[in-house]
Amino acid sequence: MPRFRRPKGTRDLGPAAAARFEEIRETFVDMAWEMGYRLVDVPALESRDLFARSTGEDTEIVEKQMYGLVDGGGRELALRPEGTPGLVRAAIEEGWLGGHNGERLAYFGPMFRYERPQKGRYRQFTQLGVEFLGIPGPEADAEVIRLLVSLLGELEIPHTLKLNTLGSPAERAAYTETLRDWLAEREMDLDEADRHNIARNPLRVLDSKREATMAATARAPRLDETVGDESAARFARVRGLLEKAGVDHEVDSRLVRGLDYYGHTVFEAVGREAAQDAYGGGGRYDGLVTALGGPDTPAVGFAAGVDRLAADGTFDDPEPPLWLVPLGEAARGAAWPLAAGLWEEGVAVQVAWNETGLRKALGRADTAGVRWVLILGDEEAEAGEVTLRDMAGGTQGRLPADAAALVAAMEDAE
C-alpha cells in the first residue's frame, strides 16, 4: 500500500497517456492556428467572484463543484472550473480586445470540479478551447463549431453534434419563467434537487441526466418554438452555414447547457453511445464581456475535455528512440561522447546504462519495440567503433563510433 495516494478524482498520466495528450494538444493548436487562433495561457487560480458572476452563482458548477480557497492574504480564490471566465477577464485586463476583425484566442490547460468521479469525469481534468471575441454574426458561431467538429474528425472520434438556440437574453428570461411555472405544476414528479432548481435556476432541471426527471420533462415547453422571429432566423443562418460546410447536426430542444452566460446558439458534441458524456460544448455569450466590466463585445466559444478525447480516439504509440548499449567500463566512458554527438545530430537516443550482458539487453530492446540498437563493448570502444544492429531484420555491422557516419548508415537502411 503506497503511503500517499493521488486525491480522489485526479489522474496520473503515464508516458503513453501523456503522449496522447501532447498529440491532441499539437493537433488542436495547429488546426486552431490555421483558422487564426493564437494560443494564450491564463492562471488556473482566479478570484472566486469571477466565476460567481460569469458561470453563475446558481449553476451546478459554482454552487456545488467549485474548489474555493482563502489564501494567506485572506483573498477568496477558486481553482477554475472552466476556462471562459478567466480568458474573458484576461482579454479585458490585458487589452486583447478591440481588433477590427475580432480576437481569436485558444487555450489548453487544467480545470477543477468537485464532481462524483467516474469514467470520463474527473476532479482535475484538461480542457482545450477557443474564445472568439468581437464578431456578432452567425459566421462566428459556424466557425467555432466547425473547428470543434474538424478536430473530432481529425482525431477520428465518432460523434453527434447537437444544436439549440436559447434566444436573446429577454427571450431566455421569458422562457425561464414559463418553464418555472410549468415545472411548478409537476413538482410531485420531480426529486428534491429538481425542486430546489425550480426556484433558483429552472433550466438546470432540463439539463438533468436523471431518467425520471427526463421523463417528467419530456413535454416541457420547447425553447426553439418560443423564441422570436429574429432569433429563429439567426439560428437558421447558423444551421445553413454549417450545412454549407458539410457539418452534420441535430437540433436538440432540450439542450440548455449548464452555464449562465449563454444566449442564442448553444451546442454540444456527444458520443454515439447512449448517455455518454459530451466531448465538448459551447455557445454564444454576448453579455459576458460587459458583465465583467469590459466594452460591449459579442463572443462565442467552445471547450472540449481532453481526457475524453484521449480515451476514445485512435492513436499510434510513439516510436521509442534508438538504444545505445554500453557493455563494460571503457564502453560506458565512450558511450557518453557518442550519445552527445547523436543528440547534437538530432537523433533520438537513450542510453541503457544498467545493461551488463548483450543477450538480455537485446531482449529488453526488443520488448520495448526499439528498431535500432548500438552495441558498444569494451573491444569496440578501444577500436573507436560501434556495432549497429537493425532489430527489424536482425542484421548488424561495425561502424566508426561517429554520429554523422551512423546517421548516414541508418538512413541508407531505411
End-to-end CA distance of the chain: 47
What 3-state DSSP class applies to 39? Answer: strand
CB closest to ligand HAM, residue no: 305
What letter represents residue 355's amino acid?
E
Q: Does 282 bind ligand HAM (CB under 6 A)?
A: yes
Q: Does 280 bind ligand HAM (CB under 6 A)?
A: yes
Q: Does 235 bind ligand HAM (CB under 6 A)?
A: no
13 grid coordinates: 498520466
Q: Does 265 bind ligand HAM (CB under 6 A)?
A: no
Q: Does 143 bind ligand HAM (CB under 6 A)?
A: no
Cα 67 from Cα 115, distance rounded (Å)? 10
Cα 38 from Cα 317, distance rounded (Å)? 28
Q: What are phi and psi of 152, to 5 degrees?
A: -60, -35
Cβ neighbours of residue 318 closer than 8 Å, sequence gap 6 or more: 16, 19
Cβ atoms within 10 Å, residue 412? 7
Among positions 20, 53, 113, 239, the unique one binding ligand HAM when judged by CB under 6 A = 113
Cβ atoms within 10 Å, residue 383? 12
Among 15-23, 82-90, 158-166, 367-375, the segment contacting ligand HAM (CB under 6 A): 82-90
Q: Does 121 bind ligand HAM (CB under 6 A)?
A: yes
Nearer Cβ to ligand HAM (82/286): 82
Cβ neighbours of residue 100 closer than 8 Å, sequence gap 6 or more: none
Among 121-129, 206-214, 244-252, 402-410, the segment contacting ligand HAM (CB under 6 A): 121-129
Q: Does 163 bind ligand HAM (CB under 6 A)?
A: no
Among positions 103, 143, 307, 355, the unique one binding ligand HAM when judged by CB under 6 A = 307
Look-up of cell digits 462566428: 140
Q: Does 84 bind ligand HAM (CB under 6 A)?
A: yes
Among positions 281, 287, 298, 326, the unique one binding ligand HAM when judged by CB under 6 A = 281
Please work out the total of residues on this chain that contact ligand HAM, with binding judged by CB under 6 A: 26
Per this entry, what is the length of the chain?
Answer: 414
Q: Does 267 bind ligand HAM (CB under 6 A)?
A: no
Q: Does 122 bind ligand HAM (CB under 6 A)?
A: yes
272 grid coordinates: 454515439
Nearer Cβ to ligand HAM (260/380): 260
Q: What are the E-state strand segments in 157-273?
A: 160-165, 250-251, 263-270
* Minimum CB distance to ligand HAM, residue 381 (Å): 51
Site for ligand HAM, rule CB under 6 A:
82-84, 113, 115, 120-122, 125, 127, 129, 131, 278-283, 285, 301-305, 307-308
